[in-house]
Structure 1
């Protein structure tokens, strides 16, 4: 059973013994409590409807971002994680970083940057800010690998092995789209690390710059 229609949900096929819960609040700046309540109600409803199935919940690595730790979004996601741990017989909670793929929310970082660069718009960037980008197909493969392993009832950080500085992302867009970006740079931004040393997955591309270039060629060129 697939709950959701977004970027991650589209990577999976229906299976009677697995619930993929990929629907809910995706905007980390969300403040409307009704949106959080809608997701909570759907989680509870789905848990009650499929009590014996493995419950896969796609959470967020934003919990490691000190600038968002006390946000309503992060507190809500942590609450959903606890709800699932307490009520699901078998579960996998996958904390995903910034998934990149075809389509998806237009306000996702890479979609936003691609749109601004292609339209020759001016972009204000924070030089010290980093983001962790992970191919949505890697998210899919990691999920399926953990399902097959029966290594369940745990929280897994699903992220690439290194972060990317925003200027590195802009530069890769320029090189791979053969475009020049209008940039206003500010000496601001935060870096936060995501611990992936326990992630049981081997990325095909280990070089961060090659991995980034591949994402842009694959989804934006």
Structure 2
């Protein structure tokens, strides 16, 4: 069963089954501040759990929980609250903390979409040279779950390609695909957070290197 209609929910249709409750109806905008939006997700989650008490819950959280600069954001606090609720009230669950999703559509403010649009529109922008980001192809979420979901019980798993891309790497690939030169200014600032990846995740991505992965994202989604 899939709860939701967005990018993640649509990507799971091929692996939908009665064995799992995929809750993909969360707040998608990490800059969201409206209390009503957070309450809507929490209410729907509780209702879904109550209606399916014996079904394994798969919940999609965020790797931003590890970002020290966002510890006081309403979005991160909300995700932590939901994670705690799941751990204390669900018999069998899997919480996936997802990296920066790249796919068709979705939030136009994600880093990949932002850079793609800025370069395509010949817009000048700033980049932080010290910043690093973790990406995940939307299609890899379903593929990972299809292989590993049954073996991951009552745990939290970090899900992203296990390489920290700097912005110049990302811009170079997008420039090549669009065939346009990016117009940007560099600032010697930025940060990133490190996370631990389980062996299941490293094994899943073991046959593709970081350059190949980034090029695939550009080929598929630009």
Same fold (TM > 0.5) = yes
Q: 1:109 and 1:175 mapped to 2: Cα distance? A: 17
Q: Work out whether 1:173 is the aligned partner of 2:174.
A: yes
Partner residue in 1 for 2:144: 142
SS in 2 for 1:8: helix
Q: 2:42 and 2:179 mapped to 1: Cα distance? A: 44
Structure with the largest fraction of helix: 2
Describe the superposition over 1:171-193 as per-residue Cα deviations: whole angstroms up to 9, x where unpaired.
11112222101102111110211
- Pairing 1:1-221 to 2, within 5 Å after superposition: 1-13=1-13, 14-149=16-151, 151-200=152-201, 201-203=203-205, 205-220=207-222
Q: 1:110 and 1:217 mapped to 2: Cα distance? A: 13
The answer to whether the 8 Å contact 2:144/2:204 transfers is: no
Describe the superposition over 1:131-156 as per-residue Cα deviations: whole angstroms up to 9, x where unpaired.
1011111111112222233x311110
* TM-score, length-scaled by structure 2: 0.93
Misfit runs of 4+, over 4 Å: none
Q: 1:162 and 1:25 mapped to 2: Cα distance? A: 26
Describe the superposition over 1:38-64 as per-residue Cα deviations: whole angstroms up to 9, x where unpaired.
111111111111111111000000011
SS in 2 for 1:67: helix
Q: RMSD of aligned C-alpha atoms?
A: 1.4
Identify unmatched segments of 5+ residues in structure 1. Answer: none
* TM-score, length-scaled by structure 1: 0.93
